């Protein structure tokens, strides 16, 4: 790692750990959901997973391009994320599952914001441009999930 962009590289790796873990949480929601909203929300989780995978790939490739080495093991993801997982459970109501996703996406939005601030300090505008788009997309997901829960995006 170069001194010039060490914080950016570290934050990109943080995002890799977080996005990977959030993907597991979305997968669990996808697999364990039940109820009258199933047919609407099950394919939506596929969309969320596709978006997370695209973000993960672009961030890892950018990290490599600026001289870093992306985390690539589940142990590294576990060791570096603050997101929490729990075993699958068929009895968790869908609103509770969606609220857990809101928490995960809010955490991710905060990590994207940190990346924006770090890339600003380190004058890495190409990386910041990538992260700005991901932050905007994440804010939109929070709004959508909160709307499902009959709440405003900032509630």
The residue-averaged pLDDT of 132-140 equals 98
Q: Are 112 and 15 in contact (CB under 8 A)?
A: yes
Per-residue pLDDT band for 147 (boundaries 50, 70, 90) equals very high
**Cα distance between residue 104 and residue 98, in whole Å:** 10
Q: Which of 134, 143, 129 is nearest to 111 (CA)?
A: 134
Q: Is the pLDDT of residue 151 over 50?
A: yes
All structural domains of the chain, each given as residue ranges with its CATH number in brackets, are: 3-148 (1.20.1260.10)
Going from the C-alpha of 131 to that of each of 5, 28, 73, 118, the distances in angstroms are 15, 26, 23, 11
**Cα distance between residue 49 and residue 40, in whole Å:** 15
Going from the C-alpha of 22 to that of each of 16, 25, 49, 152, the distances in angstroms are 10, 5, 9, 22
Enter the pTM of the model. 0.95
Per-residue pLDDT band for 68 (boundaries 50, 70, 90) equals very high
Of 63 and 154, more confident: 63
**Cα distance between residue 101 and residue 118, in whole Å:** 26
Q: Are 26 and 45 in contact (CB under 8 A)?
A: yes
Residue 1 has a pLDDT of 43
Average pLDDT, the chain: 95
Tens digits of per-residue pLDDT, 106-132?
Answer: 999 999 999 999 999 999 999 999 999
């Amino acid at each position: 790692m170069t001194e010039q962009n060490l914080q950016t590289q570290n934050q990109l790796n943080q995002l890799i750990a977080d996005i990977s873990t959030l993907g597991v949480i979305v997968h669990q929601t996808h697999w364990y959901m039940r109820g009258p909203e199933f047919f609407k929300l099950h394919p939506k989780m596929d969309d969320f997973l596709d978006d997370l995978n695209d973000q993960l790939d672009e961030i890892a490739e950018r990290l490599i391009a600026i001289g870093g080495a992306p985390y690539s093991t589940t142990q590294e993801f576990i060791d570096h994320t603050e997101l929490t997982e729990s075993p699958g459970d068929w009895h968790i109501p869908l609103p509770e599952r969606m609220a857990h996703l809101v928490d995960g996406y809010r955490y991710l939005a905060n990590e994207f914001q940190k990346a924006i601030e770090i890339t600003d300090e380190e004058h890495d505008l190409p990386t910041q441009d990538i992260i700005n788009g991901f932050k905007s997309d994440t804010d939109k997901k929070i709004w959508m999930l909160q709307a499902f829960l009959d709440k405003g995006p900032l509630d």
